[in-house]
Structure 1
């Protein structure tokens, strides 16, 4: 009995050091976890309805970009922009997809080019793309997140 008591006593002395260790601070754990996350990349890219069935992520991503560019081109290609600005063959469109699947389009014209009425081009773009097909937002760690892309859109096809 004495041996068992001595053994329990020694064991309890050794186990006391386990209680001295402090649990990591909640804020410290959060900061460590946030540092591990690559905020520049998403787990799943946004997707258009026509690309849902593709399983390969790279092919789905390419399908998504091709789908958006083709959709924008078909809506603004042979229209007002081509008549008003025949010298512009390509515009860059900044596409922002919000977590609630709301889509924003913004024209980006390179600096140093002939000055254009960007507000007018933007308003035409907004009008033509107002009923754009639904796009599911990007996903990061199971949460829908905002994503932005700048896409080259050809508006004047050489004949």
Structure 2
């Protein structure tokens, strides 16, 4: 019996968690959980009114992308620019949808060739795109979060 108590006492004394406070154990558990979360992905994409919020994540993403493309197409239907030389290039528009569902243009990245050919393009894009409609914000673990995305726009004036 004496050997049993000695082994038990030795096991208890050498146990790492025995001397660690409950607060430290809780902090460690929280840190482990936070590290396991993929902060570069959302649980639910921003949704327009026509998108089904009960659909799976992939369907929500496709609905969001399709609706955005339709909105951009209609916003630029009546825009016309005249250029002297042909353009075949891509510009990128960075958007932010905040945790309240408001969309804003963060940056329009274009090459010098586009700036020279169509100097008023960035201004026109910013004016039209900053008047975007609001959406239901993206969700991460049930909490509304901000999300950034990049939209490539291909400019091709060649015949």
Q: TM-score, normalised by structure 1?
A: 0.69
Contact 2:47 2:138 in 1 (8 A): yes
How many matched pairs?
143
2:109 corresponds in structure 1 to 108
Q: Counterparts of 2:157 and 2:66 in 1: how far apart (Å)?
A: 17
Q: Counterparts of 2:19 and 2:89 in 1: how far apart (Å)?
A: 70
2:76 corresponds in structure 1 to 76
Q: Counterparts of 2:139 and 2:88 in 1: how far apart (Å)?
A: 35
1:132 corresponds in structure 2 to 132
Name the SS for the 1:136 alignment partner. Answer: coil
42-51 or 82-91, which deviates more = 82-91
Structure with more contact order per residue of length (Cα contacts < 8 Å, sep ≥ 6): 1
Q: Which runs of 5+ in 1 are unaligned?
A: 1-9
2:149 corresponds in structure 1 to 149
Q: Which runs of 5+ in 2 are unaligned?
A: none
Q: Counterparts of 1:119 and 1:27 in 2: how far apart (Å)?
A: 54
Question: Cα RMSD over matched residues?
Answer: 3.5
1:43 corresponds in structure 2 to 43
Q: Counterparts of 2:71 and 2:155 in 1: how far apart (Å)?
A: 12
Contact 1:46 1:136 in 2 (8 A): yes
Work out which of the two has the higher radius of gyration on C-alpha atoms and give 1 or 2. Answer: 1
